[in-house]
Structure 1
Amino acid sequence: MTCTSVDMDIHRADEQSVRSGRREPPSVQYYRASEMVPDDKGLLHDLLQKQPAVLGSLQISSGLLSVGVGIIFSLAQEMNESLFTLFRVSHLTGVLFIIAGGLSNLLFKYPGLLPVSYVANCGCIVVAAVAACLIIVDLSDWNPAYEQYLRVELLELCVLGLELILSTILCFWFSREKSSKSL
């Protein structure tokens, strides 16, 4: 083992005045900031605090559910039995919502995708509204022979309602962010 002799005492300038015989009060120094430095906020900081990725993940999961319902309907029904199957409503809305949800999730890493994500979510609103109208027309002109599909179409209508709400919230947030950047 090595041994060393190091002076561990605290040396102060005030000790010199005590040694000379004078008693002066110790000098106290305070730190005072001369200028306030604002926090460095990144791009889309206020928007990203609202967690749009969570809503984007919900969009992806509801899109996957829509695609699954569409696959079930396309396998179980004839093409001319309903408008829902004829126009492949759930396939179209599902894929569109998966894309829009993915874009909302990518905003953390790529803030430049904000306009693209805004347009995709506005497109989702339009497509979901048209799809909901087609499902409502299908339900109003329902054939009792296809009673087993009624609940699944109602489920798809509820999923479309959820997708409409999610896209509306995201579009509102994105438009506020775009307007605050233009000021």
Structure 2
Amino acid sequence: MNSIRHRRRTVPAVLGVPALVAVLITATGCSSADDSARAAVPDPGAKVTELCRNLDRTLPSKVDGLDRRDPEPASALTAGWGDPAIILRCGVGRPAEMSDPEADGVEIDGVGWLLQKRPDGSFRFTTTLRRAYVEVTLPKDRTGDGMSPLVDLAPAVKKAIPEGIAS
């Protein structure tokens, strides 16, 4: 079994976790004027696609109090909430940063996530130790709410994507 090592912080499933919220608040700013969210649709194999379809059926209608508004093009492998949208993509490739023992990670309600701050001020979280990689992107305008979107998504991920190593 392959071993993925990175620094991991356990985050309780409550809003307002001071240290992480402070990190995320530093990424506030203005959003683009784009009227509709777009997301590249992943192209995983058949087994992962089926897991992702199961995830799509279990995703909540609201995340962080925001209504579901799926991005274009429509796909069971992508989902979105709000405007600017919190975007979920299922079946993405393994991020190279997962091989970095110094990479930041969090665990929320039993789901591990690799945390990546992006140059545009947004954050990308990718599940770890699951049979499919699930990526959630928080736009910079949504980072002030800390980890609450991941708290809302964790039950669906736990139900639909079994623990293990994605292939």
TM-score grouping bracket, smaller chain normalisation? under 0.3
Question: Which structure is higher in helix share?
Answer: 1
Give the greater-gyration-radius structure (CA): 1
Higher strand residue share: 2
